[in-house]
Structure 1
Amino acid sequence: MLGKLPPAGRRSKAPRRVSPIKAPKSVAPASPSSNRKSQPSSRNGGQKARTPRKTANKGGVIRIRNARVHNLKGIDVDIPRNAMTVITGVSGSGKSSLAFDTLFAEGQRQYIDSLSAYARQFLDQMPRPDVDSIDGLAPTLAIDQKPGSTSGRSTVATVTEIYDYLRLLFARVGVPHCGKCGAAIAQQTADAIEASLLGLPEGTKFVLMAPLVRGRKGVHREVLLSIQTAGLVRVRVDGEIYALEDVPELAPRANHTIEAVVDRLVMREGIETRLAESVALALRLGSGLLSTLVLQDDEQWTHKIYSTAMACVECGSSVEEIEPRTFSFNSPYGMCPTCEGLGEVPAEDAEGNPTWVTCTTCDGGRLRKEALQVTIADTNIATLVDMPLDDAAHWIAGIESELSALHKMVAEPICREVLRRLEFLKRVGVSYLSLSRGADTLSGGELQRVRLATSIGSGLVGVCYVLDEPSIGLHPADHDRLIGCLRDLQQQGNTVVVVEHDEATMMAADHLIDIGPGAGTHGGEVVCAGTPAAVRKNKDSLTGQYLSGKKRVGGAAERRTIGGQSLTLSGVTTHNLKSVTATFPLGCFVGVSGVSGSGKSSLINDTLYPALAYQLNHGKPLPITPSSVTQFQELTGIEHVDKLVPIDQAPIGRSPRSCPATYSGLLDEIRKVYAATRESKTRGFTASRFSFNSAAGRCDLCKGHGVQKIEMNFLSDLYVTCPRCGGRRFNRQTLQVRFKGASVADVLDMTVDEATEFFENVPSALRLCQSLQSVGLGYLHLGQSSTTLSGGEAQRIKLGTELARVSTGKTVYLLDEPTTGLHFHDIDRLITVLQRLVDAGNTVIVIEHDLDLLAACDWLIDLGPTGGVGGGNILASGTPESLAAMKNNATGRFLKQVLSREA
């Protein structure tokens, strides 16, 4: 019996507020000359919505009654069906609680409940939201900014399903090439196969087999029976040769490869007739395929496949049948065996730090050599997906002229579908991306717009789509296209509900719901609802006051003097940057602007941050190699900086125990307060006793979580309050210690506003509370789990924490779109906080699209002119006024409107 051969590759109850909507009249289209024309959208450069408001509200309304989720105060809301509704309000007012935790959650729950108990056990189910009733609800889909299940193998092409069509295209009309000589693979005759085998050295042992099953699930009893019927007695199963009667029972859910053993031979004279008969039989049984095992040097068996369909006419090399899975980097039949489909392999940099470098086997193409050698018009699939979307669309549109008449018929419907999906991606503003771009490298806004393009292309009707701020990361020049895409989704016969702060999107809506009036316990009510014009006239609506111009964000401020010390980055070629030199004035408020994909993040996050951080930490320039992501020539002016603080939107903690109090250090101060009480000293309690991460102080049943998870098999998991601590997370002895009549659990249940008053006589704790208040987080509970915080909230917690620290006056703060998730009122407060940092002598550098924040900057660096390969240039550097004076600058065109309003 032959030994097992190695596999070819690795696998790796409150007052109720009623929304004053009456369906269907409330969503009647506005006249073309109404509202927006008389009062331009000041924050977006006076642009007029270019998509007509078309509604077909024959479906009535979705009625939400007595919603009490999170801070919602028993509100009643009517949302028009088959229309576009925007839900807005200050941060923390309850927008997401209404849209996602109520509307979407109930839609998903109702759908899953309609499935069989067997099917439900495989799905993550949502608990029923705290609401009396929701009527008229259609099946719901959420298009949010969460990464979901994206992995290192998930790309723009796979998320949009374009890659599935490309795999089919290359499998059906692609031309494989020989890995040895590069010649195109042609059909190989039986005679050619015999001649190849006869070339084996004298005395070589080899086995001829007929491949019958290749990587298919099942027990395959009928296949084994067919081998017996053919008169054969041996079979190779998953690399092991058995007598037919000894084949073990195959696992039905595992992939199996089965080959019938036709003959076992030793190369010698006079073997030609027997070899010809065995080859013919193997090819007949294997439907044109024949596989061999050849013993090399009496040590190792090598496996090879011959095909009457695919073989090199020059050197006789054969390739396996080309299938769609051949081009899948998620399948062992297609993925590169070295990097296992990731395109990268782990390595260490010059300092010994772990990093990733391009796989040298596939050169980053992710696929096996055989797949990369299949081309259409001299282009393989890896090269195609690396193209910018515009170039990929041009290539797809032109390949039919390169194909034969038969192949053209096969390719035409595939190409049509790919082009349709590429067009949707361009329309949502991500044309600068390539199809090979990893989904895990996309920002939340980019990933959401990619998913939006997929939804538009799906053609579904009668669905309620819920979106979370799709305008995030978009330049004002791109907003009209996004609104047009949302309209397309709605006009297909769907209901579109958008949580949004962007003024252009609000003014384009059929229905606008303003939640507030404040955040946290001060919110959760419907302030007003109706057409955008009605909300704009409402005196009680904070949103309406900003839309009407009665309130303004920021305002005219004296520019700081430019011309002193500065940081200068020279010769930057990171990603799409075209050897640019950028100067950042120190002690100023600096904004980095430009259309999506123009190179802002490449300049700041991928170049300035690592270069500055390394030199501050090591006292020498960052080493640059050809494989480094960061590419620049020189960084000067660093002697004027002594600290770098990046403030991004990454979560403040992965554990449910992580909360604002732990991240900001406030809990440390609280623990000191409780450890200093007389009762703690009497009991011998130290500060560590008052941490729910400490076994001594926390509840030993729930381990400090406050809840217990109960698995319900095919029902959704149930989380119940811990019966021992009552959800307070600490044990009884710890909770007996009181300060001003409150236990440590009582303090963690307080909001930042409440804690500020509670610790008015504790300076160290008070300073941290006031810092969190200043960035608009007074509504957050100190012990709120970090997993429930938005990216914007996490970023402001980091900013508030930094504000509480003693500033050296030589600190550089880097922020990436800090206005994400912020209402006009919150942006106004944020600008004040950032100006305070600069007034203390620090430098604030902000990547941003919000026009009001950009108008408040002392200095702007604008990149473009487009995204991707068309970007990467610095178009302008100067004050906001200087950009506004430029006729052909997209950012300046919109800034001019904002600055003229403030004049």
Structure 2
Amino acid sequence: MDDCIRVKGARLHNLRNVTLTIPKNRLVVLTGLSGSGKSTLAFDTLHREGQRQYMESLGMVTPFVSKPAVDSITGLSPSISVDQHLTNRSPRSTVGTVTEVFTYLRLLWARMGCRTCPGCGKRVPPSYESPRTVSSETWDDETAEGESVPCPHCGATVPGLVMGSFSFNKPAGACPECTGLGFVLRADVRRLVDGSRSVAGGAVLGWHPRLTERNVPILRAAAAHYGFTFDADIPVDELTDIQRDLLLHGVDSAEFGRHFPEAGAGAGARVEPPATVAAGRFEGVVTNLMRRYADRVEDSDYREKTEKLLVKGECRACEGTRLRPESRAVTVDGLTIVDAARMPLEELAAWTGGMKAEPVTAPVLDDLRERVRRLVDVGAGYLTLDQSTPSLSAGETQRLRLAALLGSGLTGVLYVLDEPTIGLHPADTERLVHVLRRLRDLGNTVLVVEHDLDVLRAADHVVDIGPGAGGDGGRIVAQGTPEEIAASEGSVTGAYLAGRAPTPPPARETALDGASLTIRGARAHNLKDLTVRIPLGRLVTVTGPSGSGKSSLVLDILGRAGRQRFHGSGGSGEAPAVHDGIEGWEALDKIVTIDQQPISRLPRSNAATYSDAFTPIREVYAAHSQGRFTPGHFSFNVPGGRCERCEGAGVLAVSMHFLPAVEVRCPGCRGRRFRSEVLGVRFEGYDIAEVLEATVDEALTVFADVPSVAARLRRMSDVGLGYLRLGQPATTLSGGEAQRIKLAKELSRRATGRTLYLLDEPTTGLHPADTARLLAVLRRLVDAGNTVLTIEHNLDVVRASDWMIDLGPAGGRAGGELVAEGTPESVARVEGSRTGRFL
């Protein structure tokens, strides 16, 4: 049996006829500069061909599934990819549901749960101890009502427990108020009504003047019907409670009804509502908005626009727990299922490890302990089961999938992983390496795309691709053991492994004697009443183990508070997390938050469109068409010049019945998106389709003499995105790439010198050499007087920062404390700092 994977003549994207041999059943790392071709080789060539060959062996391949651009690949195994893209963005999805750990907890609570008898108030024992034992089939039934059991003390009927009783996605367990979401959407009144203006003067921002003229008489008629007046000519802020409730909530609402109780006499007595709108049956501004939002479930565009007028708030009925009161009252060993779901996984592992297993619950407990242990092993021990899946970072999502693979027991598989160290503190990397070696030791080939030097040193075999990015990459620079790579003179990666590469510039001496921003009483999530000072006009890094509270402090408190101060309630509509206050805002005039959320979930969005570079590019081509075409003809999003068979997508979706749909090249335009006559227009030898296939750096040479294009492209190159193809769909970008595109767009705007930039691990996906370029960009922002505050694990960035805020000492409940603050040199001397140890 061949013990190697042999690749011959790989030519996809920027790969330059690559031929190499990869040893099987080893931990193999593909490395190189960002954009050198690592992902193309790992995912687009090896993984895709592994899938194709496996499907072909089952007789499942159609002629539409094409082979990658490679002469041959032999020795391949069935492949499984673990990339950075989150597929489940449902607000109902949590860490507990995607890992199935919460499913085991629900089974445990259904079997072992104790509750109080509604008749006598005494303890009702678990179902398996009951004289009328509920069958195991009923326990496992998600939708069954559950057979009632008698109270052993008074004989009263007590509802039986089934798994569905503890599911927030089932009516039997979900909170009826929020239907199991844990939050409710409420109208943001500040975005609906300008309190400084009168209703007649246009206070209701969504009303056209004619609608205002129509509604004012209705409001006055409603007030008269209930025996008071409504003055439409005074500011809304000066309205009485009853007038304000009428305007916002309408005559049929509970808010307005509280002014008219069911019983009693006089002004507060119950009054029947007006029979018609003209007579005063006013719906209310807020009520109308929420009704239309609920009615138009299928209209995603309308709902997305409306959500900007809404704010997400914790459900008051269940306090964010998602479950109904009866389910929250059931306990196992004194804990409710809510308590268990809010435990960090490391604590949950300890709790389940100390539980006494009864014969009927032993199999459940054994499986539960094993699943939790695997999650802790991959570095996710600080996460809680109730954390929403959409809130997870790309690295956290990938590690959850890695934990699932550990339990599969598969052998002879090619695992392809995309930078699994993303978001990991250096202290957690060793544990991850151990997990990768366990996968290898099961008899699998583990192929990892990675830049982390610790992972490279732990590899059995390293393949360095380069020497540069884009057109300068796509070649095998060196391959062999980590020691052989370190000894290679032509390898940039080898220089970093051997310590030959230049180190980042040292941090400036910084003291807290200048202007600063002070966060007081930070208590969000696991933060323990912190007071933190941030020197302004500096590069500041917030460090600490995964789950120590960095994102809570920087994004949930500071970021939301800043948006609220400078931009109203902000685009997200979320209020700042719990804290007492922030001082020092007067020294700033703007806040820019650049996180790793996707720039768009639409595949038609790409680097060129998001960065605004495509608009002047289209104008250039229109100018060179000798009046035949307008800029609109060079857009693939509108009819005119695009191929109408694929509507400018370049691909068509082909249904595969029981398998996911497959995208195939459009036979009309052959994947080029545009009509042939539009493609006949060339600029500097490139047609519009070739420009979209070009990398940022390649396009820079084409449009060097077009300032409106070159300036935008240069910003992307500066932040390490020179390798990115202009037409690459936004949905395929990693979290780090999305963040750097956002940063490039912000850099194109005029800076005031008083801006606070918040970044969330901007070095994600960057080679150490690219990190040095990014640091130069951040330093330019600081030198212009701005403040850059970044959450970061990358030690090169930490060493180069002016000031550090180190949280910890660990993650979850063991985090949330200020371990150290100061210059990197001073933090390195703090014994209790895990980050300091690595510095």
Bin of the TM-score, shorter chain as denominator length:
0.7 to 0.9
* Matching of residues 303-318 of structure 1 within 5 Å: 307=148, 309-311=149-151, 313-314=153-154, 316-318=156-158
CA shift for structure 1 position 857 = 0.6
Cα distance in 2 between the residues matched to 1:754 and 1:782: 10
Establish whether residue 831 from structure 1 lines up as the match of residue 781 from structure 2. no
Cα distance in 1 between the residues matched to 2:661 and 2:126: 57
Equivalent of 2:190, from 345, 351, 354? 351
Counterpart in the other structure of 2:47: 104
* Matching of residues 64-463 of structure 1 within 5 Å: 64-115=7-58, 128-149=67-88, 151-179=90-118, 182-185=121-124, 307=148, 309-311=149-151, 313-314=153-154, 316-320=156-160, 322-349=161-188, 351=190, 353-400=309-356, 408-463=358-413
Counterpart in the other structure of 1:272: none
Greater shift after overlay, 601-610 or 349-358? 349-358
CA shift for structure 1 position 697 = 3.5
Counterpart in the other structure of 1:882: 826
CA contact (8 A) 1:574 1:629 kept: no
Establish whether residue 592 from structure 1 lines up as the match of residue 545 from structure 2. no
CA shift for structure 1 position 553 = 4.1
CA contact (8 A) 2:112 2:332 kept: yes
Cα distance in 2 between the residues matched to 1:393 and 1:717: 39
Cα distance in 2 between the residues matched to 1:83 and 1:819: 28
Deviations 1:809-831 (A, max 9, x none): 11111111011101111111111
Deviations 1:387-420 (A, max 9, x none): 22233233223331xxxxxx72223333233223
CA shift for structure 1 position 567 = 1.6
Equivalent of 1:644, from 591, 598, 610? 591
Cα distance in 2 between the residues matched to 1:740 and 1:148: 40
Paired amino acid for 1:663: Y
CA contact (8 A) 1:59 1:82 kept: no
Equivalent of 1:496, from 428, 434, 446? 446
* Matching of residues 738-817 of structure 1 within 5 Å: 738-740=682-684, 742-817=686-761
- Between the two proteins, what is the percent identity of the paired residues? 48
Counterpart in the other structure of 2:527: 577
CA contact (8 A) 1:513 1:529 kept: yes
CA shift for structure 1 position 628 = 5.2
Counterpart in the other structure of 1:7: none
CA contact (8 A) 2:819 2:832 kept: no
From the superposition, tell whether residues 533 and 174 of structure 1 become closer, same or farther in structure 2 (CA, over 3 Å).
same
Cα distance in 2 between the residues matched to 1:505 and 1:465: 16
CA contact (8 A) 1:187 1:311 kept: no
CA contact (8 A) 2:143 2:164 kept: no
Greater shift after overlay, 787-796 or 467-476? 787-796
Counterpart in the other structure of 1:16: none
Paired amino acid for 1:690: F
CA contact (8 A) 1:649 1:792 kept: yes
TM-score (norm: length of structure 2): 0.78
Paired amino acid for 1:887: E
From the superposition, tell whether residues 485 and 724 of structure 1 become closer, same or farther in structure 2 (CA, over 3 Å).
closer
CA contact (8 A) 2:478 2:488 kept: yes
Cα distance in 1 between the residues matched to 2:724 and 2:345: 42
CA contact (8 A) 1:515 1:526 kept: yes
Matched position secondary structure for 2:556: helix
Counterpart in the other structure of 1:852: 796
Counterpart in the other structure of 1:668: 615
CA shift for structure 1 position 500 = 0.9
Paired amino acid for 1:329: F
Establish whether residue 705 from structure 1 lines up as the match of residue 649 from structure 2. yes
Cα distance in 2 between the residues matched to 1:715 and 1:393: 36
Cα distance in 1 between the residues matched to 2:608 and 2:655: 30
Deviations 1:321-349 (A, max 9, x none): x3334433344444444433333333335
Q: Which runs of 5+ in 1 are unaligned?
A: 1-57, 194-210, 218-254, 258-303, 401-406, 896-903
CA contact (8 A) 1:520 1:779 kept: yes
CA shift for structure 1 position 365 = 3.4
Q: Which runs of 5+ in 2 are unaligned?
A: 192-308
Matched position secondary structure for 1:877: strand
CA shift for structure 1 position 315 = 7.0
Establish whether residue 694 from structure 1 lines up as the match of residue 638 from structure 2. yes
From the superposition, tell whether residues 440 and 557 of structure 1 become closer, same or farther in structure 2 (CA, over 3 Å).
closer
From the superposition, tell whether residues 382 and 305 of structure 1 become closer, same or farther in structure 2 (CA, over 3 Å).
closer
Deviations 1:520-539 (A, max 9, x none): 22222221111100111111
Deviations 1:434-455 (A, max 9, x none): 2222222211111222222232
From the superposition, tell whether residues 115 and 758 of structure 1 become closer, same or farther in structure 2 (CA, over 3 Å).
closer
Counterpart in the other structure of 1:25: none
Establish whether residue 62 from structure 1 lines up as the match of residue 5 from structure 2. yes
Cα distance in 2 between the residues matched to 1:805 and 1:471: 32
From the superposition, tell whether residues 492 and 836 of structure 1 become closer, same or farther in structure 2 (CA, over 3 Å).
same
From the superposition, tell whether residues 761 and 74 of structure 1 become closer, same or farther in structure 2 (CA, over 3 Å).
closer
Cα distance in 1 between the residues matched to 2:796 and 2:126: 66
TM-score (norm: length of structure 1): 0.73
CA shift for structure 1 position 580 = 1.0
Cα distance in 1 between the residues matched to 2:688 and 2:610: 17
Cα distance in 2 between the residues matched to 1:678 and 1:131: 37
Cα distance in 1 between the residues matched to 2:434 and 2:139: 45
Matched position secondary structure for 1:471: coil
CA contact (8 A) 2:24 2:445 kept: yes
CA shift for structure 1 position 82 = 2.0
Counterpart in the other structure of 1:512: 462
From the superposition, tell whether residues 424 and 216 of structure 1 become closer, same or farther in structure 2 (CA, over 3 Å).
closer
Cα distance in 2 between the residues matched to 1:157 and 1:610: 27
CA shift for structure 1 position 354 = 1.9
Matched position secondary structure for 2:9: strand
CA contact (8 A) 2:809 2:832 kept: no
CA shift for structure 1 position 476 = 1.1
Counterpart in the other structure of 2:484: 534
Cα distance in 1 between the residues matched to 2:832 and 2:139: 58
Q: Decide which structure has the larger Cα Rg and report it.
A: 1
Greater shift after overlay, 446-455 or 742-751? 742-751
CA contact (8 A) 1:516 1:522 kept: yes
Query: Number of paired residues?
Result: 716
From the superposition, tell whether residues 889 and 641 of structure 1 become closer, same or farther in structure 2 (CA, over 3 Å).
same
CA contact (8 A) 1:577 1:872 kept: yes
CA contact (8 A) 2:113 2:125 kept: no
Cα distance in 2 between the residues matched to 1:152 and 1:528: 45
Cα distance in 2 between the residues matched to 1:158 and 1:718: 28
Deviations 1:257-300 (A, max 9, x none): 9xxxxxxxxxxxxxxxxxxxxxxxxxxxxxxxxxxxxxxxxxxx
Paired amino acid for 2:311: T
* Matching of residues 732-743 of structure 1 within 5 Å: 732=676, 734-740=678-684, 742-743=686-687
Cα distance in 1 between the residues matched to 2:477 and 2:778: 30
CA contact (8 A) 2:178 2:184 kept: yes
Matched position secondary structure for 1:886: coil
Paired amino acid for 1:425: L
